[in-house]
Amino acid sequence: KAGVTQTPRYLIKTRGQQVTLSCSPISGHRSVSWYQQTPGQGLQFLFEYFSETQRNKGNFPGRFSGRQFSNSRSEMNVSTLELGDSALYLCASSKGLTEDTQYFGPGTRLTVL
Amino acid sequence: SQQGEEDPQALSIQEGENATMNCSYKTSINNLQWYRQNSGRGLVHLILIRSNEREKHSGRLRVTLDTSKKSSSLLITASRAADTASYFCATDNSDYKLSFGAGTTVTVRA
C-alpha cells in the first residue's frame, strides 16, 4: 500500500509569510504526528492528532498549529515565519495504538529567507 | 529538549565490520525504537524493544536495552555500503510522541 505522502516536498518562503504543509497518512492509519528536524535542535516533536483530536503538543510557539481532517489527512501551519523555522518537517502516521510503528513521510524542506 | 543522547556522534567503518552505537535516556520509558535516515530523507523504522525486554534481533541488527542504566545499544553486523546513514534512538513514554536522540552518523567505506 502507499506510504505517507507529504506535499510540497520543497518550499521557499520569506520572513513574515505563512506556510501550510500537508500530510496524507497510510490508508487505515488514524494517527498523524509532526516533527521538526534542524541541524541544531535535532528532531523535535510538534504535535500528534488522532481522529481529529490533538492528543499531545510539543514546546513550540503558537505560530505553529495543526489540524486533522475526517479522512485522517493532516495539515500544519506556521504563521509569521522566522529564519529559524527553516527545517525539514516530517510527518508520521500510525494506527494510533500503543507501541504502533510510526511510518514517516519523506518530509517537506522549508527554507525561510 | 531531547530525551536521548547518542554516542558516538559519528562512526566510520570498513565494509564487513560491525558498527555499534549507544543511546542513553533520562526518564522511564514504555519502549525504545531505532530509526535510520538516509541523507535528510524520511525516517525508516528499524526495531522496537519494550521496557521489559533486554535484547532483540532483526536480520543484521541487534538491540539491547538496560533500563537500570537507562541505555540501549544498536549493533549492525557485517556492514554494507547501503548502511551508510544516520541512526536515531527514540523513546516512547506512552504520551503519543517519540523523543529522539541527536543521532549517530555512520559511514561505511568500501
SS3 labels along A30-69 = CEEEEEEEECCCEEEEEEEEECCEEEEECCCCCCEEEEEC
Q: Residue B51 contacts by C-beta under 8 Å, 6 or more apart in sequence?
A: B28, B29, B30, B31, B32, B65, B67
Nearest to B97 among A48, A105, A109 (CB): A48
The whole-number pLDDT of residue B39 equals: 85
Model pLDDT for residues A11-70, shown as the tens digit of each residue: 999 999 999 999 999 999 999 999 999 998 999 999 999 999 999 999 999 999 999 999
CA atoms of B106 and B1, how far apart (whole Å)? 23
Which amino acid is residue A104, in one-letter code?
A: F
Name every chain A residue with its beta carbon within 8 A of the beta carbon of B42.
4, 90, 104-107
Q: Which among B70, B64, B60, B63 is positioned nearest to B93, based on CA atoms?
A: B70
Nearest to A105 among B42, B95, B102 (CB): B42
What does the mean pLDDT of chain A come to?
95
Which amino acid is residue A12, in one-letter code?
A: I
Higher local confidence (pLDDT), B88 or A97? B88
Say whether B43 and A92 touch across the interface (CB within 8 A): yes
Confidence of residue A2 (pLDDT cuts 50, 70, 90): confident
The whole-number pLDDT of residue B90 equals: 95
Model pLDDT for residues A57-94, shown as the tens digit of each residue: 999 999 999 999 999 999 999 999 999 999 999 999 99
pLDDT lower than 50: segments of chain B: 1
The Cα of B41 is separated from the nearest Cα of chain A by a number of Å equal to 5
The whole-number pLDDT of residue A101 equals: 87
Confidence of residue A1 (pLDDT cuts 50, 70, 90): low
The whole-number pLDDT of residue B3 equals: 63
CA atoms of B50 and A100, how far apart (whole Å)? 12
Burial of A95 (0-12, 13-18, 19+ CB in 10 A): middle
A55: left (phi over 0), alpha (psi -120 to 50) or beta: alpha
Confidence of residue A107 (pLDDT cuts 50, 70, 90): very high
The whole-number pLDDT of residue A96 equals: 85
Say whether A106 and B50 touch across the interface (CB within 8 A): no
Which amino acid is residue A51, in one-letter code?
A: S
pLDDT at A104 over 70: yes
